[in-house]
């Protein structure tokens, strides 16, 4: 594994953990009314997408089970369509999709480190 791929994978995982931690103890109503939390969560999703784009094409192709395009695509939406961000999509990304994704990424990181 290339050092840049390792660093990017770690960045994705750390950003996902942060996004989840920002929602710890927060219900949907609080999320909807708290722009600071929304901004913090959105920023971490942006970091995840940017780090995904930094992964080598070879690494992404070697691990097609990870939804790399969706991760990067979410970043693109948040950056380029910032004025049309749907809080439902952000909430669902972190509370529904991210737990399984994070587990998948952590297993991938563990296997990559084991391979040396």
**Alpha-helical runs (H) found in the chain:** 3-22, 28-33, 35-54, 57-62, 68-80, 87-92, 98-115
Q: Based on the residue annotation, tell me whether 17 is a catalytic residue of this protein.
A: no
d(CA 82, CA 57): 27
Write down the pTM of the prediction: 0.93
**From 17, 28, 65, 75, the catalytic residue:** 75
Break the chain into its structural domains and give their ranges.
Answer: 3-115
Q: Which of 28, 65, 80, 84 is catalytic?
A: 80
Length of the chain: 116
Angle at 63 between CA 58 and CA 65, to 5 degrees: 145
Spell out the per-residue pLDDT of the chain, length 116, in tens.
899 999 999 999 999 999 999 999 999 999 999 999 999 999 999 999 999 999 999 999 999 999 999 999 999 989 888 888 899 999 999 999 999 999 999 999 999 999 86
Q: In Å, what is the CA distance from 38 to each residue of 33, 41, 70?
A: 9, 5, 20
Q: Is 69 a catalytic residue?
A: no
């Amino acid at each position: 594994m290339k050092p840049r791929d390792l660093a990017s994978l770690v960045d994705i995982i750390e950003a996902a953990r942060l996004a989840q931690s920002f929602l710890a103890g927060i219900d949907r109503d609080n999320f909807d009314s708290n722009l600071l939390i929304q901004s913090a969560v959105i920023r971490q999703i942006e970091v995840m997408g940017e780090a995904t784009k930094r992964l080598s094409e070879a690494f992404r192709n070697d691990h097609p089970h990870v939804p790399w395009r969706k991760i990067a695509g979410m970043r693109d939406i948040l950056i380029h369509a910032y004025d049309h961000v749907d809080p439902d999509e952000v909430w669902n990304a972190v509370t529904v999709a991210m737990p399984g994704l994070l587990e998948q990424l952590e297993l991938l990181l563990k296997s990559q480190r084991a391979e040396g």
